[in-house]
């Protein structure tokens, strides 16, 4: 299910080479450690938690509140396990910008090598991206999409959109485990700072709007265009001024012809039709609401640590010797665990229990 989103200041630039090399090593080693300890499913559960993902970015030494933590952390994980994918049973496709558009071909490539059902995974990748770019209209344009999957067809998604008008990026997390429906409350937990009214067609409250939008999409274009022309002439509530502002009824005729010819049977099929985007869904939902009373949700679906320092020197410059020592320690523990010697992993578990212990001992540990 989609387990959360988080908003981050939109920053530009990249991690310096010396830092990204270390991030790649540490991210790959942490990924191996989690797979050894908890399996690939355990990794997906953690990556689908926006807070855990943010903490991982902090441990890797990137900006704690920058949009770049998403793209850099995902890139470091993908690069860090390169050559070990089949050994781990973990495969990663996609990335930022042009790399995101290669996601389907990368999934197919791994499918040919491993026998994984690539068609099902490509569909999941495309649908999750389409939901967050078109069905959830929150003002963020998706530009980063990373799709992770295993041999059993289980998957997770970390994708990010940008909103240059408010200077923020929003991250979306998905996990296949426990997901019943792509278009009905696919998220379980969402975290962010900035919220505003948004058209949310995957909310439970939008079930009637989804059903009627699909039914409308099967009607002849001329009837839909005429309805939009009527709506344009109405004195609409304030929130609809935003929704109608860039909808031209005459220009919708071509896409309505496509939906009429396709005759989609449900909202997911409508959503995934080529050419159907935010404006088409917005137009259909407006007709459904204002002409037929099926009101969609306008609630924004978003609700509301440093280990080695940070790239920009906050809270302190990256401690390179400490960073290298951490990489060496975890790599050694993973190597020994694979050989059947879990002594060092058990030591790491004891350390975690010690730091997590409440009361005086916790204060002593923090000191």
Q: Tens of pLDDT along 142-158? A: 999 999 999 999 999 99
**Pairing mode, strands 2-9 and 168-175:** antiparallel
In the prediction, which pLDDT does 307 show?
54
Mean pLDDT of 37-54: 90
Mean pLDDT of 237-265: 78
Residue 309 above 60 pLDDT? no
Mean pLDDT of 202-216: 95
Phi, psi (rounded to 5 degrees) for 116: -65, 145
Say which residues have a Cβ less than 8 Å from residue 232's Cβ, sequence separation at least 6: 244, 247, 249
Return the structure tokens found at 359.
Answer: 């009361």
In the prediction, which pLDDT does 315 show?
53
Q: What is the 3-state secondary structure (H, E, C) of the chain?
A: CEEEEEEEECCCCCCCHHHHHHHHHHHHHHHHHHHHHHHHHHHHHHHCCHHHHHHHHHHCCCCCCCCHHHHHHHHHHHHHCCCCHHHHCEEEEEEEHHHHHHHHHHHHHHHHHHCCCHHHHHHHHHHHHHHHHHHEECCCEEEEEEEEEECCCCEEEEEEEEECCCCEEEEEEEECCCCCCCCCCCECCCCCCCCCCCEECCCHHHHHHHHHHHHHHCCCHHHHHHHHHHHHCCCCCHHHHHHHCCCCHHHHHHHHHHHHHHCCCCHHHHHCCCCCCHHHHHHHHHHHHHCCCCCCECCCCCCCCCCCCECCCCCCECCHHHHHHHHHHHHHHHHHHHCCCCHHHHHHHHHHHHHHCCCHHHHHHHC
- Per-residue pLDDT band for 348 (boundaries 50, 70, 90) equals low
Percent of the chain with pLDDT over 90: 47
pLDDT tens digits, one per residue of 47-63: 988 878 888 888 887 65
In the prediction, which pLDDT does 363 show?
39
pLDDT tens digits, one per residue of 85-103: 999 999 999 999 999 999 9
Indicate the angle between helix axes 17-47 and 343-356, nearest 10 degrees: 80
User: Which of 48 and 78 is assigned the larger pLDDT?
Assistant: 78
pTM: 0.79
Most confident residue range from 17-21, 176-180, 270-274, 319-323: 270-274
- Per-residue pLDDT band for 367 (boundaries 50, 70, 90) equals very low
Return the structure tokens found at 140.
Answer: 């963020």
């Amino acid at each position: 299910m989609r387990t959360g989103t988080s908003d981050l200041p939109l920053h530009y630039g990249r991690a310096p080479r010396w830092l990204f090399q270390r991030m790649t090593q540490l991210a790959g080693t942490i990924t191996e450690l989690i797979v050894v300890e908890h399996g690939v499913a355990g990794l997906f559960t953690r990556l689908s938690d926006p807070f855990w993902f943010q903490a991982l970015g902090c441990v890797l030494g990137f900006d704690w509140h920058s949009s770049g933590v998403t793209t850099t952390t995902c890139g470091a994980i993908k690069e860090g396990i390169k050559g070990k994918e089949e050994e781990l049973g973990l495969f990663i496709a996609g990335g930022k910008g042009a790399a995101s558009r290669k996601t389907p071909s990368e999934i197919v490539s791994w499918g040919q090598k491993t026998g994984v059902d690539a068609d099902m995974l490509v569909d999941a990748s495309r649908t999750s991206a389409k939901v967050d770019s078109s069905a959830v209209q929150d003002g963020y344009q998706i530009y980063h999409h990373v799709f992770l999957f295993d041999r059993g067809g289980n998957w997770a998604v970390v994708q990010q959109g940008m909103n240059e008008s408010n200077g923020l990026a929003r991250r979306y997390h998905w996990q296949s485990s426990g997901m019943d429906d792509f278009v009905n409350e696919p998220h379980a937990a969402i975290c962010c700072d900035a919220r505003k009214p948004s058209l949310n067609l995957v909310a439970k409250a939008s079930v009637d709007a989804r059903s009627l939008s699909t039914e409308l999409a099967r009607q002849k274009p001329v009837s839909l265009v005429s309805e939009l022309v009527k709506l344009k002439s109405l004195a609409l509530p304030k929130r609809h001024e935003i929704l109608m502002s860039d909808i031209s009824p005459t220009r919708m005729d071509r896409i309505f012809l496509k939906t009429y010819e396709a005759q989609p049977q449900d909202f997911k099929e409508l959503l995934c039709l080529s050419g159907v985007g935010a404006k088409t869904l917005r137009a259909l939902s407006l007709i459904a609401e204002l002409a037929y009373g099926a009101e969609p949700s306008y609630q924004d679906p978003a609700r509301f640590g440093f280990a080695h320092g940070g790239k920009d020197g906050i809270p302190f410059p990256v401690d390179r010797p400490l960073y290298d020592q951490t990489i060496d320690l975890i790599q050694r523990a993973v190597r020994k665990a694979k050989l059947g010697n879990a002594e060092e992993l058990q030591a790491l578990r004891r350390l975690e229990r010690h730091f997590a212990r409440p009361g005086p001992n916790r204060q002593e540990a923090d000191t």
